[in-house]
Amino acid sequence: MKTIRRIITLFLAIALIVWGINTYKQNQKAVGIVRAFGRLTVTFPSSPMFNESNWIPGKKVTKTINIKNEELVTRKIGIKADKYEDAESPGLSDILSLIIIKNGSPVYGEGSTTGRKKLADFYKGGVVWIDSLKGSLSQDYIFIVEMPYSAGNEYQGKSTQFDLVAGIDDKNYTLPTIQPIPTLKRLPTISRIRLPRIGR
């Protein structure tokens, strides 16, 4: 009789532990990964945000982040890729498309004013200004990464990764807040060089 009680007690203990672990994982997934970027609070769905080990033509992955402006005034919100790795050529980022959506409308990539964009464009394009967010408000932004059906075998076995950094338009704030990009000055026109005439 004691043996049966011990077995039942052990079984219940194991079931309770498994239930606790599953509940913890579900809560962690629901809460997301929260990061502070200066005066912004960004909630990521997971860490890493994209963790796909099997990209195939036609595959699409959608992730949502939430950005909250902790200030009382409206701020311009920017994002950029940091510490990206894509050493091979052509790299995986050269074929993966990226679309960023706010309230159902694209703000970056196909369907937006930027036109179609690859992940490589996002890597090298610097700051992408995606919103002007009022103080104390938060906003969801949907990231869609897709491999087109036209992708060939040259992309097999390749990988890419990057850190996503968010920031505001504040000149006095240090990284990871994004600094405004100065307007480029037009270079002076090069004077035409006159060569001496040789022969007739």
Is the pLDDT at 74 greater than 70? The verdict is yes
Contact between residue 98 and residue 143 where contact means Cβ atoms under 8 Å apart: yes
Chain centre to alpha carbon of residue 70: 20
- Give me the mean pLDDT over the 90-98 stretch: 92
140-161: pLDDT as tens digits: 999 999 999 998 888 888 888 8
pTM of the model: 0.69
Q: Is 171 exposed, middle or buried (0-12, 13-18, 19+ CB in 10 A)?
A: exposed
Q: Which residue has the higher pLDDT, 189 or 46?
A: 46
| pLDDT in the model for residue 26 | 35
Q: Which residue has the higher pLDDT, 195 or 88?
A: 88
